[in-house]
Amino acid sequence: MENQETKAYPFALVGFFVTDKEVKDVFRQNITPEELEKLQDLLKKTIFNEGVDVAISPFIVPPDQVNDALNQLADVIFTQEENK
């Protein structure tokens, strides 16, 4: 059997939130690693087929900076893959 290389691909879920608060006051600052792991697991089970792992990093990105943000996330993921 041929050994297949694991690859990481950036993905984005796009949504909107509506508020009268400042953006800096919208997101919780005390989210735990366990809560993020639950969210990753939910995404993994809900939108991906079996055998796919998911890593997320929640942050707000202005529309004109989306490409840069995805590239930065990809750099983080690929750097982790190279260090394994």
CA distance 77 to 71: 10
**pLDDT by residue (tens digit) across 45-55?**
999 999 999 88
CA distance 60 to 39: 17
**pLDDT by residue (tens digit) across 15-37?**
778 889 988 888 888 888 899 89
CA distance 46 to 50: 10
Asked if residue 76 lies in contact with residue 56, where contact means CB atoms within 8 angstroms, the answer is no
Reduced to 3 states, what is the DSSP secondary structure of residue 33? helix
The Cβ-side half-sphere exposure at 36, using a 13 Å CA radius, reads 12
